[in-house]
Amino acid sequence: MAINAKAKRLALMYWPLAVALIFLALAAAGPLEKAYRAVMRPMAEYNDSFLETSVRDTAQLMIPIGLAKGAADIIEGTTLQFEAGVVFANAGTEMEVGDALQPVLDYLNLAWRILILSIIFSTVTKSVLQGCYPVAHILMIVSLSGFSLWFLIRPWLKKTNAWAVSVERISKMTLLAAIVFLLVLPSSVYLAANLSQAATAPLEASLFSSFEEAGRHFDVSEFHRIDKITDKAKFLYDKSLELMQYSLTATKDIALSVARLFVIKLLNGVVFPLGALAFLLWLLRGVLYPALGLTQTGLAREDFRNLKLWTQSEKDEERSTS
């Protein structure tokens, strides 16, 4: 009976250690990764499809803008004059075509920069998602190893022992970090993708027509097929007149399209993903911090109290300055 009681006591004392060692073995051997990827596959495929579509649509939108920029490089700074009934294009000051088109070109250059940043963001996000599990795997190994050590030494040390407290907190913090890479980052992209589909997808359709119209007007592909210098000059003259006439009516439309493009990319690239990430991190912090014993009280009330104090201090500073 005494032996059975001792065995039960040891079992109750070390069953958390056995569980931690089992999960550590599963994480190190690979079954845990397979299970995670199987569960997260729908979300991963959705995120990947969203980012691929974003890059493809952005690249498609860059085609007409790139054509317009290429045409601008040919036409900008060109001056036109007539001599003996023939049109010549040279460097001078008689008719500065680039100056007439400058407002439109400024808007197109701004749109080009926005699209470049959008592609960079989508590519970086995709790379981060691909690296989430390798980083989380290392953190899980560290966390489970720490938990195993903590469960092993906990029965023999006081709760206030510095070594026990350090191992416990390191294990729990690395577990939280692993959860961030395993769940929070993919979920934030998933939430941002759904918000984008609902809020900004309808606005993107009108952008293509506006920029494609600009690309058609700025198309100078025929210029490269002309052999004679005089014919090239005549083409530049006709194209310059067309573009100057086009710029009179298209500047407002292009400006509105660039503004919509900026808003869409700002929402899709900054507001939605960072907002979703901040919310999920706050939720993780508010739920798991108390659950893991990293704090004695819930964090939601504390966060709202700090927010209230911060807003009050801002108002007090404004009153003092006024």
More confident residue, 48 or 96: 48
Read off the pLDDT band of 86 (50, 70, 90). very low
pLDDT surpassing 90 at residue 300: no
Q: How many CB atoms lie within 10 A of CB 197?
A: 13
Please report, to the nearest 10 degrees, the dihedral formed by the alpha carbons of residues 202, 204, 205, 206 taken in order: 110
Read off the pLDDT band of 259 (50, 70, 90). confident
Which pLDDT tens digit goes with each residue over 122-175? 889 989 898 888 899 999 999 989 888 888 887 777 777 778 788 888 888 898
Give CA–CA dist 25/53, Å, rounded: 39
pLDDT at 197: 84
pLDDT surpassing 80 at residue 304: no
pLDDT at 99: 59
Which pLDDT tens digit goes with each residue over 27-44? 888 888 888 889 889 999
Which pLDDT tens digit goes with each residue over 221-242? 666 667 666 666 676 667 666 7
Read off the pLDDT band of 93 (50, 70, 90). very low
- Cβ-based burial of 108 (10 A; exposed 0-12, middle 13-18, buried ≥19): buried
Token pair of 232, please? 């090239």
Instruction: Kindly report the three-state secondary structure assignment for every residue of the chain.
Output: CHHHHHHHHHHHHHHHHHHHHHHHHHHHHCHHHHHHHHHHHHHHHHHHHHHHHHHHHHHHHHHHHHHHHHHHHHHCCCEEEEECCEEEEECCCCCCHHHHHHHHHHHHHHHHHHHHHHHHHHHHHHHHHHCHHHHHHHHHHHHHHHHHHHHHHHHHCCCCCHHHHHHHHHHHHHHHHHHHHHHHHHHHHHHHHHHHHHHCHHHHHHHHHHHHHHHHHCCCHHHHHCCCHHHHHHHHHHHHHHHHHHHHHHHHHHHHHHHHHHHHHHHHHHHHHHHHHHHHHHHHHHHHHHHCCCCCCCHHHHHHHHHHHHHHHHHHHHHHHC
Please report, to the nearest 10 degrees, the dihedral formed by the alpha carbons of residues 193, 198, 203, 209 taken in order: 70
Mean pLDDT of the chain: 76
Question: Taking the model in full, what pTM does it have?
Answer: 0.74
